[in-house]
Amino acid sequence: MEIKVAQENLNLFVALASETRIRMIEMLRKENLNIREMAQRLNMSSAIVTKHVQQLEEAGIIHTEIIAGKRGMQKLCSLRMDQATLIFKPEGTFEEQTADRDSYSVNVPVGQYSDYQVKPTCGLVSETKLIGMVDDPRYFAEPEHVKAQHIWFASGYVEYRIPNYVSGRNSITSLRVSLEICSEAPGYAEDWASDITFSVNEVPVCVWTSPGDFGKMRGKLTPSWWEEGSTQHGLLKTLLVTSSGTYMDGVLMSDVSVQNLPIQPGEEIRLRISSLEDARNPGGVSLFGRYFGNYEQDIQVKISY
């Protein structure tokens, strides 16, 4: 997640300016805890801890839910934010930052890929059930694949078609893609690195190394029927291709610019997400939709021109 250093995000910076709240984040990094448990570990009253929790929740750092406990109802706390990149200065030149831009956005469900080539371990699930059989690539052609909320494969790719509404003499100035993604290990493995390649119209724009396949903590949106011991959620990543290069969460990943992409007026844009067998870390890909994982969104694409 990208966080701009600006007054509009002051509540987040204030929430982090406390040793107690940092200690709470460190505890929640390891496991979900209720108010009483945190109060005991911090040697504080539940009332004081509740105030700290409220500030962290208002800043979007943690998530709370009321559940039944051994002694009545309890407020269970968990981390909502996996990571954040502070943006002090946006990418591009001053002219690019300040120029008026036209843009449009498209939400692409993870199951609505237009092309694929995958190898096991692999599979697809909708919000309510498994689609086909696990580790059988043939089911990626099952018509129900458009309903998938979580897909995974050990190697290969999936490709999505993004409509191109830019016409006339206009040209695309930036392409932004936001999605929830991680590696794919048998079962899950928090330290399972994977080099994931992002390509646009068959041009590789960057390789991002996912640090792991996350299954230790249940995804906030992951359906209750999904079994433990499997992938639960990913990381929210933002890919941005501009005239100055390609960035991942604000970090320059390559010199490939939007001008290097063979995008023709009125022709669709093809986004491919790959795990190559000859990569240094061939660790697969897991993708998550708006009803699975930690983030309530599909693949979000924004085109500026």
State the pLDDT at residue 100: 45
Quote the pLDDT of residue 1: 66
- H-helix or E-strand spanning residue 207: strand 203-210
**Ramachandran quadrant class, 92 (left: phi over 0; alpha: psi -120 to 50; beta: rest):** left
**Per-domain residue ranges of the chain:** 2-79, 89-304
Give pTM, 2 decimals: 0.73
Residue type, 86: L
Residue 123 CA from chain centroid, whole number: 19
Q: Which CATH number fits domain 2-79: 3.40.50.300, 3.30.1020.10, 1.10.10.10, 3.40.50.150?
A: 1.10.10.10
What pLDDT was estimated at residue 82? 79
In tens digits, what is the pLDDT along the chain, a chain of 305 residues?
678 787 778 888 889 999 999 999 999 998 999 999 999 999 999 999 999 999 999 888 998 888 887 777 889 999 888 777 778 766 554 344 434 468 999 999 999 999 999 999 999 999 999 999 999 999 999 999 999 999 999 999 999 999 999 987 889 999 999 999 999 999 999 999 999 999 999 999 999 999 999 999 999 999 999 999 999 999 999 999 999 999 999 889 999 999 999 998 889 999 999 999 999 999 999 999 999 999 999 999 999 99
Here the tokens at position 254 are 């390559």
Same fold, 2-79 and 89-304: no
CA separation for the pair 160, 108 (Å, rounded): 8
**Residue 246 vs residues 83, 170, 177, 267, 268: alpha-carbon distances, Å:** 20, 21, 11, 21, 20
CATH class of 89-304: mainly beta
Are the CB atoms for 200 and 261 separated by under 8 Å?
Answer: yes
pLDDT digits (tens, 9 = 90+) for 130-151: 999 999 999 999 999 999 999 9
Q: What is the pLDDT of residue 119?
A: 98
Q: What does the pLDDT look like over 193-222, one tens digit per residue?
A: 999 999 999 999 999 999 999 999 999 999
pLDDT value of position 67: 84
Q: Residue type at 4?
A: K
Tokens standing for 60?
A: 């979007």
